[in-house]
Structure 1
Amino acid sequence: MAPDPQDLCEEWTKLADEEITQEHIQNTLLLIKDDLWVVAASVDRLLDDVSIQRTLLDAGLERTLSLQQRLEVGELEDDGEGQSSGSLSHSQSEELTAHFREQPADAQICHMRTVLLDRLDRLNTYVEACQDGDGNDEQDIDPQWEDDPWEEAADEDKEQPESSKTLPIALHEFLVDDLLHAACLLASKQALAAVSVLYKRHSPSLWPFRYTILDCIPEHVHPSSYRDLLPGFDVVQDMEQRPSYQPWRTDADWSEAGPIQAALKASGSIDMDNLPRTRHIHNTAIAQTQPLSASELASWYEERVENVLISTGMVDIALALVQHGGSQGVVGVDELGEELSLLSRLVYDAPSADIEGMDTEWTLRRWRAMDPAAVVQAYLANSTEGNLVANIRKLVMPYLFVLEARAERAGHPDTSISSRLLHDYILSAPLDFVASIFEASKPTLPPAHRLISDDETMARLALSRLYGSDSLTEWPTMSRIFECLPAWDNSEADEDLADEAYTTVNSLGAYVTPTTARPRCTPQDLLLFFKPLPATSLSRALDILDVHLEAGEILSRWGVPAPLRWFLQSTNDENQQRAWATRLARRAGGSDDQLDTLGDWEWLLEDMIKLSSTNDTGLRSAFGLLEQQEVLRIFLSGLLSTGRFHIAKRLLHPRHQSLSSLSDADIETICLTCSREYYDNASSGNYRFGDMKLAYDCLSVPAKSDAIVREQEFIEATSSITSYNVMTAPGLPISPLEVRLVKDRLSLISRVLSSNDDAYKYPEVILELVHKLGFRHDPAATVKALAMITDTALQAEDFTRAYESSGTMINTIVELNSSPLATTNPAKVQEANEVCWVACFQLGRQIEFEDVEKKLALLGRALEFCPPEKMVDVLNAWRRLESEDTEERRERLGKQKGRTGPDTTRTKRQAVSTGAAASLAARFQHLHMPDLHIPSSPLVSTPDAAAIAHTFSRVAANFPFSVGMRPKSVASDDSGREKSRSVERPWPSRSEHPDVSAQASRVFQKGIGWLIGADDEES
C-alpha cells in the first residue's frame, strides 16, 4: 500500500536539518506527489553536507521541469551576462502573465526554480573553493613523507569526500549570504583562493566592489597570495583590465529569462521583495563599475603601499605589491618601486639598533620627507667601525647613483651630488668611522677600490675634520687618519706656496676662535679654507698637522688635553701658550695618575722642552713662542705647586742637566712665589699642617738666603699671630692672607697685645715676633714694639713690667742714636726717639706709679730724648714730682729727728740727677737757646693738658696703638688745675700772667740748674 502523502509531509517536517540523509530524500521527500510542496521543501532546507545539499537541490529542480512543459516556452537566448534575453510576443507575454495570475502555484514554482539554480551555482563554487586548498584546514602533508606507502594504503580505504577542505564560512550561510559579504569575509580570513573562485564564477556581482574586497585583505599578506585579485592595466584599451568570467552555466535557464521574470512580477502572484533569492546584508561599499584610468590605478597602488607601511612597516610586502603592479603594466609605479627598493635596503639590509624603544616605524611619507643627507645618516646610523665601509658600498653608493640618475632624468644633471653627500657625512661622522673610511681610501690601494680616490680631496677632508673636532681623547684615531693621507714630494716646492699654506693656517687660528656671531667653527666651514690650496700647500699644511698631533698626544698624556683647533688659535698667541704650559706643569701632578717618581717628572720636563722647540722643517710646536728658560721656570713652579719638594730637591741638588740654565736667583724667585701662593691660599695660619706647612716646606728647596730666611720667619710669625686668636671680626679669626695684606705689620703686635691679657708679660716673645715680621734689623720698630708693651703694661697697672720694658726701650734708643742709622736715616731715628720720650713721659707722670726714683729717671730720659719745644713740659712734670717728693721727705725727716746717717733717698735722687745732668750736658752743648723774652719762642709754652695732648696726638700719628694718657693717671678740672695725690697747684696760663716770658725763663733756669747739680734751696 502506498504511504499516505500527509504522513510523508509530517515525517519530513519533523526532521531537523542535521538529521536529513540521502534515504530521507529518496524515501520521504521524493514520494510526495505535490510538486509545489517538494520544491518549497527543497528551498526551505539549508544543509552543511555538500552531497546531501546537492541531492536536495536536484530533487527540487527535478519537480520544476513539468512547469516548463505546461508553460510551453522554448529555449531563450542568453544576453551574455548570464541572463536570458529571449523575447516573447505581446500576446504570449499576456497569456503567461494571466497564467501566473490564475495559477499562483506555478508562479511560485518558477520563482523557486531560480533560487534553486542560484544555490546550485553557489554550491559548486563552494566545492571548488574548498578543493583549491585555501581553507583553514591545515592537513598538509609533510614533504619528507610524500612517498609513505602506508599513507597511500590508508587513502585507498577512505571514501573521498566531495570537499577535502573547509572554508571559514559554513555552507548553509554561503548559500544565502550576500556574495560581497562572503567575499569580504573570505578575504579578511586570508582564504584568497576562494575569493579568486568567487571572482571567476560570480564576477558580474563582485567586480564593481573589487577594491572593497581588496581592502579587506590584511596588509601583511604577501601580494603573491592574491595576485589574481590585484588590478592590472590594459595597454591597448588604456584603462584597467577586466578579469575573465567563467560562470557555471553558460546559458541562462528559462526561468531566469527576462520575459519570465517580467511576467512573474506583472502577475502579482508573488511578492518579489518578500521572497528574496538571497539574504542581503547592508553594505556601505561604493561600487566602481567603470575601469580605472592609468593615473587612478597608480594612485590606488601608492595608497595601498602607504597603508601597508603604516599598519605593518613591512617594506618587502609593499615592494612586492609595487613590483606586481609594474608587471601588470600599471604606469607610474616605477619611481614608487625605486623608492621602496631603497627604503627596503634601509629597513632590511642596514644594521638595526639593539636599543629598546628605538623608532623603527618607516612610512613612505617619512621616507620622502627626508633629505638626501638624512637618508645617508639613516643608512649608516647603526653601523660599526667594522662594517661601515661595507655598508657604504652596499647601501649608500647605490642610493647616491639613484640620485644622480633622477637628476639626469629631471633635466638637471649633477655629477657631484654623490661625492658631496659622502664628504658631508665624513665631516660629521665620528672619528673612528672617518678613520675606517680613510683606511679604505689609502693611496696605496687600487683606484677602483678606494672610497675617496682623489688624494687632494682626502687631505682637505682630513684637515677640515680634524681641526673641526672637539675630541680630547681620540688622539690615536686622529693619528690613524693622518697615516692614511698622501705624501707629496716637496723637494722642489715653491716657497711661496709653503708660505701661503702657513699663512692660511695662521689665518685659520683667527677664524676658529669663537665669537658671538659664530660660537663654533664647523668642519664644513673649514673646508672652505682648504679648497683653494694646491697639493704643495696641502703638503705643508699636513706637516703642520703632524706637529699639532704630536703636541696634542703629549698634552693628553699628562691630563691637560686641548682640542686640535687650539693649536691654530695659539699659533701667534704667547699668552695662550704660557697659560697652557702652566696648566700642564701644575695639573700633570694633580691627575689621577699622580707623578710620584723622579722619572715621571723627568719625562714631563723632556716633553715640555719638546713642546717649546722647533722641528727640522722649521715648524714650532705648541709652546714655540716661549723661551726655553721660561718653560723651565714654569715646570719648576708646577712641580713645587704639587707639593713634591723631595723631587724638586733631587732635580736641583745636584742640578739636572735640563735645568742647568736656571740660576740660583731664578730658583729662589720661583720658590718664593710658590710659597706665597700656598700662603695666600691657606685657611689656617698654623704652619705645622695644610697649605701653611707646604708654604714653609717649599722654602727648603732653594739654597738659604736672606730672602728665604725672611719669608720663613714671616710664616712663623703668622703662625704665632694666629695662635694668639687675633680676630678680624667677632668670631672670625684672622687669615694668613689678611696678615700679609696689612700695610703696617707693627699694628699686628698691637692686636696681639690687645687680644691677650698676658702677652705683654713676655716681651722677649713679642720682640721675636716683631723680628720675624720683617723688623729684625730695624731698631726703630723694636722701640715702637717696646712702647706698645709698656703702654699695655701701663693699662694693666703693671708698673714693674712697664718700667722694665721702658728700660729696654731706652737702651735700644741709646744704641740707635749712636748707630750709623742716625746719620743715614735721621727721620726714622727721630721717630723712634719721639716714641721713646712720649712713653717715658707718660709712665713717669703716672700717679698710681709710686716709685719716685724710677719716675724721675723716666722723666729724665724723656727730657733727654724729647724735642726742644717739649722740654718745658717735661721740666714742669719733673718739678711737680720733685716738689711732691720733697714734701714727703720733710715729713719723714720730721719723724726721724735724732737719727743719724745719710739720707739714702736723697743720695739716690742725686745719683739719678747726676746721670740725667750728664746726658743733658751733651745736649746743651749743641742746643741753641732761644730768646726767652721773645713771646713766640717755642720754649715759652703753656704746660697745660692741651699742650701735652697736642704732643701726644702728633706722636700717636706714628703709633699703631693708643699712647694717650690713662684717664685716672693725670686729671685736670675745668679751671686748668692739675691734681696730684699730695698737692694741687694751679697751671699758669697766658691770660693770668702777662709776663709769661720772664716767668718761663726763671722756671727754665731753675730747672736746668737743679739738673746740673745745684743745691736745693728748700733742702
Structure 2
Amino acid sequence: MTTTASSRWKALTDEELTTDAVYDILGAVPDDVWATAACVDRILEDRNTQHALLVHGISRTDSVLERCKGFLPRDEEESSEEGPSNQELLVQHFHHIPSDAQLCQLRAVLLERLGRLNTYVELEKAAVSAAAEEEEEEVDEELDEWEDDPWAEEGSVQTSKPKRTGKLPFTLAEFLSSALLASARALASGQYFDALGILVRRHNSDLWPFRLDILSFIPEHAQPLAYRRFLPSLDSNTNSELRWSSGQPAPDLDFSQLPSTQAAIQEAGASLELTSPIPEQALAQQEPLSFSELTEWYTTRVNTIIQTTGMVDVALTLVQHGASQGIPSLDELGEELSLLSRLVYDAPQDPSSPSDWNLDLWRAMEPEAVVRGYLAHSTPESIAGDMTHLVVPYLFVLEAREERAGNPDSGLQERLLHNYILSAPLELAASIFEASKPTLPTAQRILRNDVHVAQLALACLYGSDALDQWPTMSRIFECMPAWETSGQDETDEEAADTTLASLGTFVTPTTNRPKCTPTDLLLFFQPLSFQSLSRALDILDVHLESGEIFARWSVPAPLRWFLQSSDDLKEQTAWATRMARRAGGTVDPLNALEDWEWLLDDMLKLTEKSESGIKGAFGLMSREEIMTIFLSGLLSTGKIDIAKTLLRHPHGKIDLSPQAVEDICLKCSNELYVNASSGNYKVGEMKLAYECLDVPPPTPRIVSEKEFIEATSRICSFHVTSRGGNPISPIEIRLTKDRLSLISSVLSSNNDAYKHTEVMLDLCYKLGFRNDVTAEVKVLAMMADTALQAEDFTRAYDHSQRMVEIIHKLKADAVSTPLASDTKLQEAIEVCWIACFQLGRQPEYDDLGKKMALLGYSLELCPADKMHDVLTAWRRLHKEDIEEREERLTNRDSAIPQSAARPSILDRNGGGGLFGPRNVASSLRARLQDLHMPSPPLLSTPDAAALASRTFKSVASNFPFSIGHRSQGANSDVGHGAASESSRADSRDDVSVQASRALSKGIGWLIGVDE
C-alpha cells in the first residue's frame, strides 16, 4: 500500500467521497485487507457512493475465495472418510494466514451491507409511494368535507395516522450501522407498515425471533387491519403459531457467510468486532407460540388498547382478526367488545357520558345498568330504534351465555325490558308502547305479548306522579290491545273491580311505604286474565278522561288518586270543591259565562257512569251536590253576576231549591266574612260577602245577615279596638258571644256616640236584636250611663225617660200576663229601675224634680226587697226639696201677701202623686199598702251604704253589658267633696248620701268600671 493513497483516503471526508474517488484511491492500494477494511470502515449517506464502496470492497475479497475453495464442506460420503475435516483444515488455514480470515469476515459484512442497501432502496420507494397515497386520500377527504360542509373549519378532520413526508424514520447510514430490530421498531412506531413488510420479507430469519417485540412498538390506536400481516395466527397443522413466510426462496449464502466459516474464524482467533449490537430489552421468542399463548397475547393486547386509548372499535377489530385467524377462545371476548362498542359508539351520548370505558368497568356492570346505559340519552324519537338495535341484541347475548353456562333463563329478556319500561319516563315509555302495538307485525314489535303490554301500561300509568302529561298517557292507552270480551264472565269483571279497589288501598301512602312504585303495582295486574285486563283498561279509560278534565280546570291529580277516591265521598267532595274554586284562574274573562257553564257540564259529567257502567271521578256525588259546590265556588270567587245569571235565567243550568240557594249564599257569605281583613262592606271580601246575599230573594235570614254585615261595617268605622289594642277584626265581631258588648265598646271608644240615640239603636237592631225590648233597654241604659259619666245629665235623663216609656208600654201590653212569667220583661224592668236609681241619686245632678221623678220610677219598678234602699235615697231628696221649698217660701213671704196658699208637695211636677205624676203616686201607695212595709231600718242605720252595695251587686249578675270608667270632671269632684263634708258633719242625717255613693259604686262595678 502506498503512503500517498492511504493519505488521500484519510484526507477525504464522507461528504467529499465520490464513486470515482473510491475506485481511484482504493484501486491504487495493493493491500486487499487494508482496502477492504477501508470499505467497511466508512458508512455513507449517498447511495451510489455507498454502493460503489461496497462493490469495490467485495471485489478485493474475491481472491480469498479461490484460496479457500478447497475447504468447502464435503458431502456425506466425504465426511465419512478418515482424516481431518474441511472445517478443521479451514481453522488451521485461518490460523496460519489470519489475513484470509479477516478478508472472509470483512466480505461477510460487506455482503450484508449490500443486501441492506438494496433493502433501503426498496424502503424509500415504499415510503414515497405511501406518502403519495396519503396525499391523494387527504385531497379526497378535503373534497368530501367541502361538499358536506363548505363552512367547516380548516383542519377539523383528525386522523390517527402520522403525516407522511416520503422519508423513512432513519437515514441510510443509521440503517446500515444499526441492528435490524432497531430499524423494525422505528418503522413500527411510525406506522410505516409497507416498509416494515419489505424489511420483514427481506430479513425474515433475522427478525422472526423479535416479532412480538416489533408488534409491541406499533401504537395502540393504529388500526389492526393496517398491520394484520404481522399479527400472529394459528397453524392448524401444528396447533401453534404460524411462522412468517417471505414469499420467496431463501438466497444462497456466500462462503464467507456460512456458519461454518464464521465458526472457523472465531475458533482461529482472527475475529473482528464489526457487528451492530442488538437493542436493549429486546424480547426474543424463537419458538412459535402455543394456542393458549396466542389467546393470551390477543387478550393482553386488547386490554392494553382499551386502557391506553379507550378505542373499543380498534380492540374489537383486533379480536375479530384474531378469530378469523383461528385463535381460540376469542368469541366471548369479541361478544363483550361488540356490545361495549355499541354502548360507546352507537348509543346516543352527550358531554356528560363517561369516556373511560374499559372491560373491567363493563364486566362489573349489572344487566339493568347496561340497559340503562344503552338508553341513557335516548329520545322519544330514537328510543324504539335504540331498543331494537342495542338492547335486544344484548339481551339475546345474555340469554345465550346463560344457556352455555347451563343456567337457561327464558324470562331474562322480558324481565329486563319490563324493568326498564316501568322506570322510564312516560314520554319514552309511550314510544316503546307505540312500537309494540298489536297492529304491527310480531317481528317488528318490542313487546310481543299483548297481556304484558296491558299489564305494563296499567302499572306505568297508575304508578306515575305526572300531572301534566295527559296527552302522553292517552297515547299509551291508544296502544292497548282490544280483546273480544262479548262472552265476558261477571267473575272477570269482579276480579278487575276487586283488584282496583285493592289498589286504591295499596297506593295510599303509609309510614312503611310512602310511595308505591310501578314495579309494586305490576304485582297486582300479573294474575289477571285478559278479560279482567280488558275491564281494567275500561276503567283506565274513564280515569284518563277524568284526569284530562281535572287538568283543564287547573286541579290536576295523579292517576292513582282516582283509585284512592273511588269509594271515598269525602275526598271526592273536597276535590270537587277545589275544582269549583280554582277554576276562576282558568276561565277566559271574555267568555266567562260560557266557560263557567262548561265547568258545570264537566263536573256533572264526572258524576255519570260510562257505557260500561264505570263511575266517574265524582261517582259518589249527586247532581244536587255538584250544583251546590259549583254555586259555592262561583260565590266564593266573587262571580256574583254569573251566579245570578245562571240562577235567574229561564234555562239556567243550576237547578236548586230556593232554600238550598239561600243556605249556600249564607254559607259563602259567612266564609267571606270570616276571611275578610276589613269590616268595610264596600271593599274586599266583605263587599263580596254582602253581595252574595243579593243573589237569593230577601228572606228574614238573608235580611238579618245583611244587617249584621252593615253593623260590622258600622262598628269598624268607629275604630273600635280589641284587647290587644289592634283594630277589631270581622272575625272577632262574629265570634263575640255577647253582641251588646260591641255597643258598649263603641260607646267607650267614642266620646260622642251616646248622643246619637237612633244610630246606636239601629246598630242594636242590626246586630240581631230587632224587636228585642230587653236589648233596646240595655242599650239605652248604656247610653244613659255613658252620658252620666260625661256629666251630660240632660241626655242621661232623656235615655232613662225613654226606657221608662218602653217599660210602661210593655206592661200595658202584658196586662193579662203575670209579670213574673215574662223573663224578658222582668230583665228589662230590672235594667230600667237600676239605671233610673243611678241617675236619680247623683248629687252632681242639680235638677231635683227630675231626680225625684227618676227615683219614683225606680221605686215603682224595683223588687220589694229593694224598695227601702230606693226610699232612703228618695227621702234624702225629699228633705232637700222641703228645705228648698221652705227657703223659697221664706223669700216669697217677704214679697207677697200672707193669704197666698203654699202648694202641696203632692202637686209637684204636674199634680197630685207622691213622686210626681198622680198615676205613679197612686200605684206606689197601693204597693206600699199591700206590702205593709214598715219604716226602712237603714234610715237609722250607719250601714246603709254597705247594704246598698250588696243589693246592687246581686243585681249585677244579670246585667249583660259593661261601660267604661266615668270621666270625672271638676264639677264632679266638687259635688263629691260637698257630699263628703256633709257626711262628716252629720252622719245620721246624711245616710242617704252614703247610700247614694254605695249605690253608685255598685252600679259602676255592675257596668264594668274598674275599682
**TM-score exceeds 0.5:** yes
2:334: which partner in 1? 337
The alpha carbon displacement at 1:679 in A equals 1.4
Alpha-carbon spacing, 1:971–1:591, altered in 2? closer, same or farther (3 Å): same
The alpha carbon displacement at 1:246 in A equals 7.8
Mapped partners of 1:207, 1:917: distance in 2: 155
| Residue 898 of structure 1 pairs with residue 886 of structure 2 | no
The alpha carbon displacement at 1:360 in A equals 5.2
Q: Could you tell me whether the CA contact under 8 Å between 1:791 and 1:963 is conserved in 2?
A: no
2:144: which partner in 1? none
2:706: which partner in 1? 712
Q: Could you tell me whether the CA contact under 8 Å between 1:749 and 1:785 is conserved in 2?
A: yes
1:188: which partner in 2? 189
Q: Could you tell me whether the CA contact under 8 Å between 1:389 and 1:436 is conserved in 2?
A: yes
Mapped partners of 1:452, 1:358: distance in 2: 28
1:869: which partner in 2? 865
Alpha-carbon spacing, 1:35–1:493, altered in 2? closer, same or farther (3 Å): same
The SS at the match of 2:708 is helix
Alpha-carbon spacing, 1:677–1:46, altered in 2? closer, same or farther (3 Å): farther
1:573: which partner in 2? 568
The alpha carbon displacement at 1:635 in A equals 1.1
- Aligned equivalent of 1:407, options 381, 387, 402: 402
- Aligned equivalent of 1:837, options 826, 833, 837: 833
2:235: which partner in 1? 234
1:621: which partner in 2? 616
The SS at the match of 2:617 is coil
Q: Could you tell me whether the CA contact under 8 Å between 2:128 and 2:165 is conserved in 1?
A: no
The SS at the match of 1:811 is helix
The alpha carbon displacement at 1:590 in A equals 2.6
Counterpart mapping for 1:60-79 below 5 A:
60-66=57-63, 74-75=71-72
RMSD (Å) for aligned C-alpha atoms:
4.1
- 1:84-136 per-position Cα deviation (integer Å, ceiling 9, x unaligned): xx987668646745765xx7xx7766665554444334333333333334777
| Residue 721 of structure 1 pairs with residue 715 of structure 2 | yes
1:954: which partner in 2? 954
Mapped partners of 2:138, 2:583: distance in 1: 74
- 1:721-776 per-position Cα deviation (integer Å, ceiling 9, x unaligned): 22222223555322211221222222222222222233333233222222222222
Counterpart mapping for 1:864-943 below 5 A:
864-900=860-896, 908-909=908-909, 911=911, 913-915=914-916, 918-919=919-920, 921-922=922-923, 925=926
Matched letter for residue 229 of structure 1: F
Mapped partners of 1:918, 1:708: distance in 2: 44
The alpha carbon displacement at 1:428 in A equals 3.2
| Residue 763 of structure 1 pairs with residue 737 of structure 2 | no
- Aligned equivalent of 1:327, options 324, 329, 335: 324
Mapped partners of 1:181, 1:759: distance in 2: 119
- Aligned equivalent of 2:504, options 509, 512, 520: 509
Mapped partners of 1:313, 1:682: distance in 2: 70
- Aligned equivalent of 1:858, options 854, 857, 872: 854
The SS at the match of 1:853 is helix
| Residue 741 of structure 1 pairs with residue 735 of structure 2 | yes
Alpha-carbon spacing, 1:889–1:914, altered in 2? closer, same or farther (3 Å): closer
The SS at the match of 1:732 is coil
- Aligned equivalent of 1:773, options 758, 767, 777: 767
| Residue 277 of structure 1 pairs with residue 278 of structure 2 | no
Mapped partners of 1:448, 1:768: distance in 2: 88
1:490: which partner in 2? 485
Q: Could you tell me whether the CA contact under 8 Å between 2:588 and 2:595 is conserved in 1?
A: no
Bigger mean CA deviation after superposition, 665-674 or 780-789: 780-789
2:153: which partner in 1? none
The SS at the match of 1:623 is coil
Matched letter for residue 758 of structure 1: D
1:801: which partner in 2? 795
| Residue 541 of structure 1 pairs with residue 539 of structure 2 | no
Mapped partners of 1:500, 1:449: distance in 2: 33
The alpha carbon displacement at 1:224 in A equals 0.9
Counterpart mapping for 1:263-412 below 5 A:
275=273, 277-278=275-276, 283-284=280-281, 286-350=283-347, 352-353=348-349, 355-359=350-354, 361-412=356-407
Count the aligned residue pairs: 952
Mapped partners of 1:606, 1:592: distance in 2: 14
The SS at the match of 1:219 is coil
- Aligned equivalent of 2:46, options 22, 33, 49: 49
- Aligned equivalent of 2:420, options 417, 425, 438: 425
Counterpart mapping for 1:598-677 below 5 A:
598-654=593-649, 656-660=651-655, 662-677=656-671
Alpha-carbon spacing, 1:377–1:890, altered in 2? closer, same or farther (3 Å): same
Q: Could you tell me whether the CA contact under 8 Å between 1:186 and 1:195 is conserved in 2?
A: yes
1:222: which partner in 2? 223
Alpha-carbon spacing, 1:6–1:754, altered in 2? closer, same or farther (3 Å): farther
- 1:137-162 per-position Cα deviation (integer Å, ceiling 9, x unaligned): 3366859999xxxxxxxxxxxxxxxx
Q: Could you tell me whether the CA contact under 8 Å between 1:632 and 1:659 is conserved in 2?
A: yes
2:23: which partner in 1? 26
Q: Could you tell me whether the CA contact under 8 Å between 1:134 and 1:192 is conserved in 2?
A: no
- 1:447-487 per-position Cα deviation (integer Å, ceiling 9, x unaligned): 44544444333332332222222222222333333333333
The alpha carbon displacement at 1:649 in A equals 0.2
The alpha carbon displacement at 1:530 in A equals 1.9
The alpha carbon displacement at 1:226 in A equals 0.3
Mapped partners of 1:276, 1:761: distance in 2: 140
Alpha-carbon spacing, 1:515–1:88, altered in 2? closer, same or farther (3 Å): farther
Mapped partners of 1:627, 1:487: distance in 2: 32
The alpha carbon displacement at 1:435 in A equals 3.6
- 1:193-243 per-position Cα deviation (integer Å, ceiling 9, x unaligned): 223333334455544443443233223321110001211123333333332
The SS at the match of 2:15 is helix
Q: Could you tell me whether the CA contact under 8 Å between 2:44 and 2:50 is conserved in 1?
A: yes
Alpha-carbon spacing, 1:983–1:920, altered in 2? closer, same or farther (3 Å): farther
- 1:651-676 per-position Cα deviation (integer Å, ceiling 9, x unaligned): 1113655422x111111111111111
The alpha carbon displacement at 1:556 in A equals 1.7
Gaps of 5+ in 2: 76-83, 141-163, 996-1011
Alpha-carbon spacing, 1:420–1:896, altered in 2? closer, same or farther (3 Å): same
Q: Could you tell me whether the CA contact under 8 Å between 1:180 and 1:209 is conserved in 2?
A: yes
2:245: which partner in 1? 244
- 1:853-903 per-position Cα deviation (integer Å, ceiling 9, x unaligned): 222222222223322222222211122233234334444544455224888
The SS at the match of 2:722 is strand
Mapped partners of 2:165, 2:545: distance in 1: 81
| Residue 585 of structure 1 pairs with residue 580 of structure 2 | yes
The alpha carbon displacement at 1:846 in A equals 2.3
Q: Could you tell me whether the CA contact under 8 Å between 1:316 and 1:344 is conserved in 2?
A: yes
Matched letter for residue 277 of structure 1: T
The percent identity for this pair of structures is 50
- 1:678-717 per-position Cα deviation (integer Å, ceiling 9, x unaligned): 1111222222211111111121111111211222222222
The alpha carbon displacement at 1:963 in A equals 7.6
The alpha carbon displacement at 1:584 in A equals 1.2
Mapped partners of 2:856, 2:397: distance in 1: 116
Alpha-carbon spacing, 1:924–1:648, altered in 2? closer, same or farther (3 Å): farther
Alpha-carbon spacing, 1:207–1:540, altered in 2? closer, same or farther (3 Å): same
The alpha carbon displacement at 1:549 in A equals 1.9
Mapped partners of 1:340, 1:932: distance in 2: 125
- 1:597-632 per-position Cα deviation (integer Å, ceiling 9, x unaligned): 211111111111111122343221111111221111
Mapped partners of 2:687, 2:764: distance in 1: 21
Mapped partners of 1:972, 1:873: distance in 2: 25
Matched letter for residue 879 of structure 2: S
Matched letter for residue 220 of structure 2: E
The alpha carbon displacement at 1:573 in A equals 1.1
Mapped partners of 1:792, 1:498: distance in 2: 78
Mapped partners of 1:446, 1:586: distance in 2: 49
